[in-house]
Amino acid sequence: MSMAPRRSNGHLRFTSNVLRTLGVINDIACFFTAYIVAAIIYDVSIGYFYDGVLHRSGAIILCINYLLIRISRDGYTAFKGQGEDVGGNAIADFILASALTTLVVIQLDMLEKFSRGLSLYFIGLAIVLLFLSRIAFRRIVSRLMERGIIGQRVAIYAENERVADKVAELLDLERLPHLKLVGYADERERSLRGPNKLAFIGGFPELLALAKAGQLDQVILAVPRISQERLDMIAETLSSASIDLCVMPREKLEFTTSYRVNFLGSLPVFAVWQQPVRDIDGVLKLLLDYCLATATFIILLPVLLLTAAAIRIESSGPVFFRQKRFGFNNTEISVLKFRSMYVNQQDESGAQRTEKNDPRVTRVGRFIRRTSIDELPQLINVLKGDMSLVGPRPHATMMRVGDKYYFDAVKGYAARHRVKPGITGLAQVRGLRGEINTAERARKRVEYDIYYIENWSPLLDIRIMIETLFKLVWDQHAY
């Protein structure tokens, strides 16, 4: 493993898992291209009539058989960078799929209906493309890994340098080019390491600072002898950073529902959590955000203009109110809202809660807050990339629950910042919209946020958006 390039975590991250999907797409493209080119060559060189629908159906069936064989044999694991095969196994699987498809055609007594010339052109071109595409694919992937676009920057948090060295050796044996080792941090917060050894980050505070700065993608905890309480504290503190966290096997480990077995190559680890919005799923969420936000903005533009006019007519001052709130990876973002209070009455820090019948709120403000029209300018935040349509609601930096700040009042609060905040979220459609005036409501909201993060899927986002539309009609918690 090599040292990682310096870059900050983005909202969308690509791990080696994306290469499996890209490998499948690559092979489908090879089949599609092979058939199109074979048909053109056949028409130009031979020109005999053939049943296009029949041959296209045969090519599709062959492609499906090939993909099923490859996937059943875990044939796309090599796209992670392990192994020396650059196409031999793929071609063998293609020949097997071709034989199976031919047997099916023979059983259906349809062999004579296929053009031998077109079939040979197609098979020959498919073999060539499968081989050449793998060479090109590996070179492109290698370049992307070198630049840090694909892969993970890993840090080891160990009891001492001997343990860190052992973990690094195990990772080296796994030959995982997508893992870039940044260095290690020592539980003792000191090191006697020389300059040519594994890079020493420092103690836990330095590791945490590096993670919060977006310079790490994964932290491996190799601390077999520390107490469970200390391990829980480390995990909870690191939950504020947008990273993957896993624990090396140890003699005693109290499991929770969030622990699961994962593998770094063949090396088993206990995954405490992983970033949900990544790879192809992350691309889908990004496309969903941009497409729906753009469409919604255009459709609701008359409502936005009328609201802006009503605000200006009722009271002087700006139409929009900007408030600093916590965003992705605990960074501050400027959240847009329609101004619902009189000028100079707004609290940009969020320290003063808005209460029912709050005298600071204008008449227009009461209506747009109750109907959530005041939140519509956050579509601009979505298009800027600061927010998502669905996610944990962004909280003001000085927001309080009782006499405590939100991040002090609720255990595990910072973990909700591992994804981009949203205009709506799971907590909001479960009745926790509006004022959070008790520690119990605050805790429940964070629990829903964490559940959303750990169980995220595109379908969950769509479900929340649909439920939000119904909640806007009957919800009585906003004022």
Q: pLDDT tens digits, residue range 124-165?
A: 999 999 999 888 888 888 788 777 777 788 898 988 888 888
- Between strands 179-186 and 200-202, the pairing is parallel
Give me the pLDDT at residue 254, please.
64
What residues are paired with 261 via a beta bridge? 270
Give me the pLDDT at residue 82, please.
45
Angle between helices 17-45 and 116-146 (to 10 degrees): 150
CA–CA gap between residue 263 and residue 249 (Å, rounded)? 11
Coil vs helix vs strand at 337: strand
The H or E element that residue 247 is part of is strand 244-247
Give me the pLDDT at residue 291, please.
94
Quote the radius of gyration of the chain (alpha carbons, Å): 28
* Dihedral sign of CA atoms 204, 206, 212, 216 in order: negative
Q: In what order do the strands lie in the sheet with 200-202?
A: 200-202, 179-186, 152-158, 218-222, 244-247, 267-273, 260-264
Residue 270's CB is within 10 A of a number of other CB atoms, namely: 18
Angle, alpha carbons 127-131-133 (nearest 5°): 115
Segments of the chain assigned to CATH 3.40.50.720 = 152-273
CA–CA gap between residue 379 and residue 307 (Å, rounded)? 15
Q: Could you tell me which residues come within 8 angstroms of residue 266 by beta carbon, excluding any fewer than 6 positions away? A: 174
CA–CA gap between residue 322 and residue 2 (Å, rounded)? 43
Residue pointed to by tokens 């992937």: 141
User: Which two tokens mark 186?
Assistant: 């020592």
Phi, psi dihedral angles at 383 (to 5 degrees): -70, -25
The H or E element that residue 201 is part of is strand 200-202
CB 8 within 8 A of CB 214: yes
DSSP character at residue 354: P
- CA 384, distance to chain mean position in Å, is 18
User: Which two tokens mark 177?
Assistant: 């080019």
Residue pointed to by tokens 């936005």: 304
- Return the beta strands (E) in 105-151 as ranges: none
Give me the pLDDT at residue 195, please.
47
Phi, psi dihedral angles at 389 (to 5 degrees): -65, -40
CA–CA gap between residue 132 and residue 476 (Å, rounded)? 62
At residue 100, what is the residue type? L
* The model's pTM: 0.74
Taking alpha carbons only, the member of 447, 448, 408 closest to residue 424 is 448
Angle between helices 458-474 and 279-299 (to 10 degrees): 30
Give me the pLDDT at residue 81, please.
47
- CA 124, distance to chain mean position in Å, is 39
Give me the pLDDT at residue 381, please.
93
CATH superfamily of 152-273: NAD(P)-binding Rossmann-like Domain (3.40.50.720)
CB 118 within 8 A of CB 55: yes
- The tens-digit pLDDT sequence of the chain (479 residues) is 444 444 555 556 677 677 888 889 999 999 999 999 998 988 888 767 677 788 888 899 999 999 999 888 877 775 554 444 566 788 889 999 999 999 988 888 888 888 888 889 999 999 999 999 888 888 888 788 777 777 788 898 988 888 888 888 888 777 777 788 888 888 765 555 554 467 888 888 888 888 888 788 889 888 887 787 888 888 888 887 888 888 888 766 665 556 677 777 778 888 887 777 777 788 888 999 999 999 999 999 999 999 999 988 888 888 888 888 888 877 888 999 988 888 776 666 555 666 666 778 888 888 888 888 888 999 999 999 899 999 998 887 766 555 556 655 567 777 788 888 999 989 888 877 766 667 777 788 888 888 898 888 888 999 999 988 887 765 555 54
